[in-house]
Amino acid sequence: MTKFKCIPLFFLIVFTFFQPLFSQSQNSGLAQWEVLITRQIKYPIEALRARKEGVVVVSLGTDEKGNLGEINLEKKAAPYFDDQVLAAVESMRHLWSPNMLEDRKAGGTYFLVYNFIMIQEGTSGKQERIKSAINLIQKGKADKALKIADRLVNENPYDTKSLELRSQIHRQLGMEEEATTDLLAYQKLQIQVLNQIDIKVFGQVSTRQVTGTIPSRSF
């Protein structure tokens, strides 16, 4: 007697593409400090398997002279994201310099934002969605553009570009109060966020079904 058995096989195919993207910082010391931190951060294998993304925000407290004080997690994603980001920033504490604040006020709290992004076939990245929203605005479909902007802000409320975009859309729709709220939040983050760092991987997850025959045995 022949038995038929269907065996599901699961494959995780990941094309790791480590790409920290830094904003245009005029402070070379700050830029180098961030590079040293980001080199220690990898996309967690647990997140790859689960196809998870996340945004981790680290707060940096400074004293009256601009010296680095407390380092805390302002926004958490998951332990496998949070722990390594916090450890990486802490490991570079000794290289911090008050000059990295540039014209920002000493004694304030500032943020580093780490975006863990998993790009898969058929998905659109942030830049593509921003372009789509702008195209919709140009076509007179600001209400549809607003839905895109809302999703971007909800995914990362620390992203200044998304806030600026939504403020403009609100103003075009005559929603002045909402536009002003977004604009004020954008201006505040422009000062508070030292940098946004994108850590990307390109991957594909697939499953296959393998059908086989198991011949019967005679005993």
pLDDT per residue as tens digits for the range 15-61:
444 444 444 456 889 999 999 999 999 999 999 888 899 999 999 99
Determine the pLDDT at residue 11.
39
CA angle 111–116–117, rounded 5-degree value: 135
Q: How many CB atoms lie under 10 A from the CB of residue 171?
A: 16
Q: How many CB atoms lie under 10 A from the CB of residue 153?
A: 17
3-state helix, strand, coil in the chain (%, to 5): 45, 30, 25
Determine the pLDDT at residue 119.
78
87-112 average pLDDT score = 95
Nearest Cα neighbor of 204 from 129, 124, 122 is 122
Does pLDDT of 210 surpass 50? no
